[in-house]
Structures are given as structure tokens and as C-alpha cells.
Amino acid sequence: MKLVILKSDYLIAGSGLAGINAALHAAMYGTVILVTKSKLDASSSYWAQGGIAAVLQQPDSYESHINDTINAGRGYCNENAVEILVKEGSERVRELVEKGMPFERKGEHLSLGLEGGHSDRRILHAEGASTGKVMVEFLISKIRNEPRITVLQNTFIYDLICTENRCFGVVAYQYERNESIQILSKATILATGGYSALYGRSTNPHTSTGDGLWLAYNHGAVLKDLEFVQFHPTAFYCEKGNGFLISEALRGEGARLYNSKHERFMEKYPARELSPRDVVTKEIVSQIECQHEDFVCLNVTHLDTNKIRQRFPSLIGRIEKNGIDISRQGIPVAPSAHYCIGGIETDINGQTGIDGLYACGEVAATGVHGANRLASNSLLECLVFSKRAVDHARNHKKGSFGNIILTKKLTVSNDLKMPFLEQKKEVTSLLNRNAGIVRHKEGLALALHQINKDLKTAVYHYGNEYYILRMREMLKLVEMIVLAGLTREESRGVHYRADFPGVNPEQEPVRFQLSKDTGQIQIKNKAVSWR
């Protein structure tokens, strides 16, 4: 296998909204290589349905959006980061509108919707429940016409190039050409998404396995808040497969949740179906535990169904292809792993603890979401912090690539594909059972024991082999997710411990960092062996 060497001013890893927005902004200042391990349009952002939140008109205000975000975050948000998100977010959205982004309108004015946890109508949509898809396609069309951006698709990044706590780029494997590529860059921006596809039931594409987290962690970056995994309350339920997301915007239009007894169980909450996601998710789980069915129903039969079909054409079309007549039947829904709040710890400029390495979007832990993400803030976060990362890198990147030649090539043994897939299936089942929506010490400890056992028996003598590397890094990341859940002895936002149902104001953030001296995970300044 040959080793190809490329150079660029900026290296962007990931093709979700954060990645493509970073690439477009960086192209104003230099050459860009955008790497994605799948197709350019395969990302969680592409499937985002809910919309994007922004304060654009009175009586809405920055203060209202900030308060809604902090309240949803259950007192765990970085308030400085939230203020930046809200105020700069409005600017970023207005810029998109000026560039021609086709958000929905009523006459000449932008149409603003309402979603759970928001006090005002501030949610912009495009083509109903296809907001992420339309935004991504809109920006990708601009990337294709930008000569300073080179796109590498189907390319798997398997290591960072780091010396003396500085990142100089990445090493990647190109599937189709069976070659390793060394990309040297003055600034490397990780926008690789979250890790919710490690769960057995997820709304995200199968590529959302947390690669960016372990890439950064292996070179000394800090991982934070991995226990905070948000489950979307309403994903289409089917016995086989992950199902698909049912937009929160449907509840914003008046859809109601009913249990198997046809009781509208969210009426006991002031905001009813538009309560924050952690509240709705936990209540649905509680209802499912008290009935025979593994789902509840989202009902729109009381609404103008023709209007709903027109408002959400692709979503309703997909529902009805599964045999559901929305004019007569409820839509079967159940919670599904959706968004990872935890990730690589960064400052407000996307800086990690490694010089020259940035992170933005779902892979980053900026503190804006606290313990529970407010609906439609994720696309906004992508726009705001991807631009901030590029702006900081532009002013601080070094003038040289260095003289680094990395010869560590990746080998691929197809005989190891099935063992890896079987291991991944076991991991997803383990996470669902023991580190899902409701957690307790016994289940988390059992999961930790099993993961440690798998790590000890994992094959390490194959060198730098693709499937072994993915298996090893997946298990290490899953162990940290479980350890974080075990360490946080309280219930806050999306993290619910049945054995610690109250909030502990003294609970410290759970951080992980690899010890260069011992090769051990460091958690809260204590070394925890993962082998």
C-alpha cells in the first residue's frame, strides 16, 4: 500500500454542517482539504428535522433564548458559551438568509415555529421536516464551486500527526484506492459528529461512532460529559431496525402523545408535549414500562391532516409508507439515541488542549447544552463555533507544516470484518441495556466488567489493522461512556440514575485524559485502568 502526502492550510474532518461551514469559511483564507469517511452528504446534520433556532424579531429576545437554553441545560451550561451561541447565532442565520438559504416563509416574512423548551416562536424550517437536508445541500453546492476546497470522500482518518502537543494534520485510509494518505495542515478542525450510533437504536447514521473523540484523546485531549446522551423522545417505532426521527416540529403543530389506554399522559406538565426533551423522554419510558407495547402513539387525527401532509411532505410520506394512515391512526414512537452532548473539551473558540487542533459541532463539548440540549440549538452551534474555530486558527496557525513524515500505514484484513461487526452488535446491546435512558450502579458496573473483559481479550498483535483498531478504540470510548455514567452520582437532564434520583450540586464534571506515563485513563485526577 503506497503512502500519499498532501498539504493544505486547513484540514477539516467531517461533512456535517459544522464541517462544511468551516470549510467554506476557511476557503476565504487559504487552501482546504475536507475529509469524510462516507459520502459528502452523509451526516447527522443531513437528517436533522427540527429546524434551527434564532432570535430574529420582537417580541423574542436574546435574553429569552439564553434563559430557555440554560433552563433546558439544568443549570450545567457554560453561560458565556450560551450567550455567544444565541447572539452570534442570529448573525450567522441572517447571513445564510442573505446568501439565499430557502427557509420557509409566510409572504415576505420568515416563518417561525415553536418547539419544546422554547418560550417564543424562533424556529426556522426548510421543506417542513427536512431542514438539515436543505441546509447541507445548500452549502455543499457552494463547496462544489469553490476551487480552494478539495474533498476526500470514503476516507477514514485513523491517526493525528502530533509532536510536542501540536497537531500537524492527520493520516487517513482511502477505501476505494486502498492507500494511506498523510495530510499535513497548519490547522486541523475535527467536526466528526457524535457517538450515538454506538447505541442499538439511534436516529443517526451508522457512521456516528465517535471517531473524532478517540483520535483526539489518544494524543492527550480531554474528553468531557460523555454520560450526557440525549434520547429523542419520538422516533418511529418498528420491531426491526432503528426507525427514523419524528420531528419535534410535529408536536409544535399540535400533535399529542397517548399511551395504550389512549390517555394523554403529558397533560400533567405545564408545557405538555412541548416540555423539554429529557422530560418527555422519561415520561414515555415510564408509560412503556406500565403497558404491553414498547411504544406510545403520537396522534395528529385531531388536526387538519391535509395541512400536516403539506407541511411535512417527506416525513409524512415516510410514515405512511410504513402503513400508518395519520388521519385515522396514531404514529408509534419510542425514544432513540439522538444527540451526544459530551465530546472533546474545547474553549469558546473550538480550541482543544492540543495546539493547532480544533473541534466543533457534536464532537465538541463547549458547555452550551449543559445536561440537556434545547431543541434546534445544534445546527445553530455548528454555524457559530465552526466559524469561531476558523477565525481563531487563521490568527494563530504556525507558518510551517514541519518536516513530519509518518510511515504508519493501515492494513486491512477482511477476515476480521465479521468479528468486528459482532463485537459492535454486542456493544450496542450492552449500552442499550445498561447505559441507556434509566441507569443504576449495578447495570453500569456489569457493563464496565464486560467491556474490560472484551478489552483484555481483544487482539492487539495485528499491528495497525483497520478492524482491530476500530474495535479497540470503540471499546475504549464505550468504557469511558459507562465510567462517566457510573461516576456521576446524580440525575440531571438526560443523565438519569435511578439510585441517585436527585441533583447533586457538588458533583464535578467528569473528564478523561490519557496518561502519557502509564497509558491509563485519568478520571477526576485518579488513574483508572482500562486493560
pLDDT over 50 at 531, yes or no: no
Same domain, 86 and 205: yes
Same domain, 13 and 129: yes
Instruction: Give per-residue pLDDT as tens, 217-258.
Output: 999 999 999 999 999 899 999 876 667 889 888 998 899 999
Same domain, 367 and 492: no
Domains identified in the chain, total number: 3
Question: Which of 265-279, 333-347, 404-418 is least confident?
Answer: 404-418
Question: Which of 63-72, 270-279, 355-364, 509-518 is least confident?
Answer: 509-518
Of 335, 360, 382, the residue that ends a domain is 335
Domain with 356, as residue range(s), is 3-228+341-396
Q: What is the mean pLDDT of the chain?
A: 90
Same domain, 179 and 316: no
Q: For the domain that residue 297 is a member of, what is the CATH number?
A: 3.90.700.10
Instruction: Give per-residue pLDDT as tens, 250-259.
Output: 998 899 999 9
**pLDDT number for residue 530:** 36
Evaluate whether residue 493 is within a structural domain: yes
**pLDDT number for residue 313:** 87
- The whole-angstrom separation of Cα 161 and Cα 477 is 20
Higher pLDDT, 464 or 521: 464
DSSP 111: P
Higher pLDDT, 238 or 193: 193
Same domain, 310 and 281: yes
Closest by CA to 244, choosing from 230, 232, 228, 229, is 232
Same domain, 92 and 120: yes
Q: What is the 3-state secondary structure (H, E, C) of 388-435?
A: HHHHHHHHHCCCCCCCCCCCCCCECCHHHHHHHHHHHHHHHHHHHHHC
Question: Which of 60-74, 315-329, 454-468 is least confident?
Answer: 454-468
Same domain, 217 and 107: yes
pLDDT over 70 at 44, yes or no: no
**pLDDT number for residue 400:** 63
Evaluate whether residue 401 is within a structural domain: no
pLDDT tier for residue 406 given thresholds of 50, 70 and 90: low
Strands (E), 102-238: 105-106, 109-110, 112-113, 123-124, 149-152, 155-163, 166-174, 179-190, 223-224, 229-236
Same domain, 320 and 372: no
pLDDT tier for residue 49 given thresholds of 50, 70 and 90: low
> Residue range 273-290: average pLDDT?
91
pLDDT over 80 at 515, yes or no: no
> What DSSP element (H or E) covers 12?
strand 3-13
Provide the annotated active-site residues: 277
> Residue range 28-45: average pLDDT?
86
Q: For the domain that residue 456 is a member of, what is the CATH number?
A: 1.20.58.100
- The whole-angstrom separation of Cα 160 and Cα 450 is 29
Evaluate whether residue 407 is within a structural domain: no
> Residue range 416-431: average pLDDT?
91
Evaluate whether residue 404 is within a structural domain: no
Evaluate whether residue 314 is within a structural domain: yes
Evaluate whether residue 433 is within a structural domain: yes
pLDDT over 60 at 40, yes or no: yes
**pLDDT number for residue 407:** 60
pLDDT over 60 at 526, yes or no: no
**pLDDT number for residue 107:** 86
Same domain, 366 and 482: no
Closest by CA to 120, choosing from 70, 54, 72, 75, is 54
C-alpha cell at 406: 509518518
Higher pLDDT, 455 or 138: 138
Of 299, 320, 335, the residue that ends a domain is 335
**pLDDT number for residue 528:** 46
Do the beta carbons of residue 222 and residue 344 sit within 8 Å? yes
Name the phi and psi angles at 149, rounded to 5: -110, 125
Same domain, 283 and 380: no
Instruction: Give per-residue pLDDT as tens, 99-141.
Output: 999 999 988 899 998 888 899 999 999 987 788 889 999 999 9
Evaluate whether residue 406 is within a structural domain: no
Same domain, 63 and 202: yes
Cβ contacts of 530 within 8 Å, gap of 6 or more: 452, 455, 476, 479, 520, 521
Cβ contacts of 286 within 8 Å, gap of 6 or more: none
> Residue range 494-507: average pLDDT?
95
Name the phi and psi angles at 260, rounded to 5: -65, -20
Percent of the chain at pLDDT > 70 equals 91
- Helices and strands in the chain, H and E counts: 13, 24
**pLDDT number for residue 522:** 66
pLDDT tier for residue 529 given thresholds of 50, 70 and 90: very low
Same domain, 220 and 295: no
Evaluate whether residue 448 is within a structural domain: yes
pLDDT tier for residue 1 given thresholds of 50, 70 and 90: low
